[in-house]
Amino acid sequence: MSESVDMQRVETQIREAKLIASDEALRSLVKHLVDEPLYGIDTEFHRERTYFAKLALLQVAWSDGIALIDPLSVDVEPFGEV
């Protein structure tokens, strides 16, 4: 059974996102996220002049943070642990 969300208690806050552009920063983020009970993921792909989409941005949000992962600077494979 999924957990219900009391929409009256949901607060909207704008948080500053962390840019993840190093392997060390990604490992630290993954270590934190594996214990998070709930998170959201969004991806952006570059498709210009190619049939094969290339991951251009990985965005992650959780209860107390937001991260923008630059897959052109880091190997995102460790994110698979999340």
Q: List pLDDT tens digits, range 29-46.
A: 999 999 999 999 999 998
SS3 category, 32: helix
20 near 69, Cβ under 8 Å?
A: yes
d(CA 69, CA 76): 8
In the prediction, which pLDDT does 47 show?
A: 81
d(CA 50, CA 19): 27
Nearest partner of 77 among 52, 58, 53, 61, judged by Cα? 58
What pTM was computed for the model?
0.76
